[in-house]
Amino acid sequence: MITTIGLVILMAIPSSACDDTLVMLLTAQNPGSEFSRVIRSFNTDLTTLGLALKAMEKNDYDAELAKVMESWLEFSKRYMTSPPPEARNDLRWAAKTSETARSIGEIRRLVRDKLFMEAHDRILELNGKMGMFFEAFGVSDEKQLFIATSANLTELERALLNNDKNNAASLTRELAANLTSFKPLLKQVSDPGSEEARKLIEELAGEIASNENLPALDAKQQRLKVVFEEMRSRILLQEWFPGLQE
């Protein structure tokens, strides 16, 4: 099963800030568990709604919202007050699910009020926090790095779309630090992905400082996200298939 998950992660190049492949990675150790199934379903439906809202191609998103509410209802029925066995020692579980419930309620209100970009922003905010459900799972330092990087990329997208120059600049510095931590894991003297990521981060930092229209930088941020995803996939394949040559 882990081989299948690994190949999916390698091939799944995401097109939104909702990092489905990260959730797949974090549930890969026990992909058949009820919790793994339920949280993947919730995250996928949230991704679908976020992508639809960002595309702005429809007058309403009731169908996508209904799927999110359905998958969240299943999650909350099972885990609102009681964590799954994998997170039985998480003392903040109830607080996390309550916070998520409030976010879902706000997203629902915004979509129904046709405040679509505001709803998209709240989805990005919630997605950046998805790793909190795995904090008590005994996640390795390597996967903690993946979680932190994914959250920083999501927050950078939010900052750019909201024209938040100070926060965007701070996040490019965070991502530069994340990249420094990625490099030893790639186990190569020179990795084309890390070099492209370095250039993209430098370009973003410079353009954020000089540009008053930060939403125009979204495409470059999305490319940076893809590059980080590709590096993560290579790291995982090296871990799962040590004899594999690039």
Q: What is the residue extent of each domain of the chain? A: 1-8+18-136, 140-239
pTM of the model: 0.82
Please count the CA atoms within 13 angstroms of the CA of 212 that sit on its side-chain side: 0
User: pLDDT in tens for each of the 246 residues of the chain?
Assistant: 333 433 333 333 333 334 666 787 787 677 788 998 999 999 999 989 999 999 999 999 999 999 999 999 999 999 998 899 888 889 999 999 999 999 999 999 999 999 999 999 999 999 888 888 988 887 788 888 998 999 999 999 999 999 999 999 999 999 999 999 999 998 776 788 999 999 999 999 999 999 999 999 999 999 999 999 999 988 887 766 555 444
- pLDDT at position 156, please? 96
- pLDDT at position 2, please? 37
Q: What is the 3-state secondary structure (H, E, C) of 11-26?
A: HCCCCCCCCHHHHHHH
- pLDDT at position 15, please? 34
pLDDT digit string, tens, across residues 203-232: 999 999 999 999 999 999 999 999 999 999
**142, 235 in Cβ contact below 8 A?**
yes
The alpha carbon of 246 is separated from its chain's Cα centroid by a whole number of angstroms, namely 26
Residue 216 to residue 210: CA distance in whole angstroms: 12
- pLDDT at position 240, please? 60
- pLDDT at position 234, please? 86
- pLDDT at position 24, please? 72
Looking at domain 140-239, does it have CATH number 1.20.120?
yes
Strand segments (E) across 97-168: none
**Token digits for 26?**
């974090």
The alpha carbon of 224 is separated from its chain's Cα centroid by a whole number of angstroms, namely 13
78 DSSP 8-state letter: H
Closest CA to 133 of 216, 43, 61, 21: 43
**Token digits for 186?**
């790639």
- pLDDT at position 4, please? 40
Sign, CA dihedral 87-89-92-98, equals: positive
- pLDDT at position 242, please? 55
Residue 130 to residue 128: CA distance in whole angstroms: 6
* Amino acid, res. 64: E
- pLDDT at position 59, please? 92
Residue 135 to residue 47: CA distance in whole angstroms: 21
